[in-house]
Amino acid sequence: MNKPGPHSSTKTDSLGPLVGIYGGTFDPIHFGHINTVASVASQTGLKSVFFIPSAIPPHRPQPQANAQHRLEMTCIAIDGHPQFNIDDRELRRQNPSYMVDTVFSLKSENPENRYCLILGMDALLGLEQWHRWQSLLDQLHFIVMQRPGWSEPSTLPEWWRNRQAETFRQLQLSKAGRIYPIKIDPIDISATDIRNRLKKGKDVSQLIPDGVHRYICENQLYE
Ligand code: ATP
């Protein structure tokens, strides 16, 4: 009989499978998204991560490229990563892309799943501005990736301190509500910088997948 691997467990089976979700404007999607989440998936053993492009992000300036282009670029970027999938439910909604609505909708369709929201430190630092953010803490686990330029506050607010997890195992053993700062190599890439570079005609080939680069050129995005 095979021995259980590091991520398999009998005790956690009854809690339901853990599925990653990764929301963003992806305007455009870049290696700071793809490579960091690939590291998260390989380190945690998450078998499935859903990329969820937002239509009308409520907490930030509106994206430059339209929803269809951002969806296409995301499809191109995840090609070759069998554990990555796309969920376009926020693009099909007419209202602002509140993550809390997305999570309730995912859970109603897949009540057996537990969800881990993967996000950068910059995003977690702004969580208190999100619509019904406390409800999200009850519904999900959070996996937080380091991002150059942002760091964990020296004194964590109470909601964060009480939920901070030292290991991914703590997420596997509970239903929701843990915040796990994962240790991965930080990648200093942002979509803002890529848009600025493209506008000035500068090289971005090291920052985005080739297929995304080709798509941007063919569709004359970010000029
Ligand atoms: P912009 O520069 O337009 O704000 P962005 O590069 O931050 O875009 P988003 O699509 O807004 O990209 O980010 C979606 C998610 O990806 C957020 O949780 C963000 O923190 C995370 N993220 C983006 N880039 C990185 C990176 N280089 N390292 C870690 N997390 C990242």
Domain boundaries, the chain: 10-187
pTM of the entire structure?
A: 0.93
Count CB neighbours of 48 within 10 A: 15
In a 3-state reduction of DSSP, which class is residue 200?
A: coil
Whether residue 222 contacts residue 64, with contact meaning beta carbons closer than 8 Å, is answered with yes
pLDDT tens readout for residues 7-21: 444 456 689 999 999
- Answer whether 64 contacts ligand 1 (Cβ < 6 A): no
- The topology under which CATH files domain 10-187 is Rossmann fold (3.40.50)
| pLDDT at site 61 | 82
| pLDDT at site 94 | 84
The CA–CA distances, whole Å, from 31 to 128, 162, 208 equal 27, 32, 5
Looking from the CA of residue 25, the nearest atom of ligand 1 is 10
Looking from the CA of residue 123, the nearest atom of ligand 1 is 20
- Answer whether 53 contacts ligand 1 (Cβ < 6 A): no
pLDDT tens readout for residues 140-161: 999 999 999 999 999 999 999 9
Q: Give the closest residue (by CA) to ligand 1 atom 23.
A: 33
For 66-71, the CB contacts below 8 A with 24+ separation are 67/91, 69/215, 69/219, 69/221, 70/25, 70/26, 70/27, 70/28, 70/29
Q: Give the closest residue (by CA) to ligand 1 atom 26.
A: 32
CA-wise closest residue to 145 among 107, 83, 110, 189: 189
Instruction: Give the Å distance between the CA of 128 and the centre of ligand 1.
Output: 17
pLDDT tens readout for residues 113-127: 999 999 999 999 999
When pLDDT is averaged across residues 46-64 and rounded to a whole number, the result is 90
- pLDDT confidence tier of residue 56, bands split at 50, 70 and 90: confident
Which residue among 35, 122, 207 has the greatest number of ligand 1 atoms within 8 angstroms of its CB, and so is best to mutate?
122
In single-letter form, the type of residue at position 216 comes to I
| pLDDT at site 1 | 36
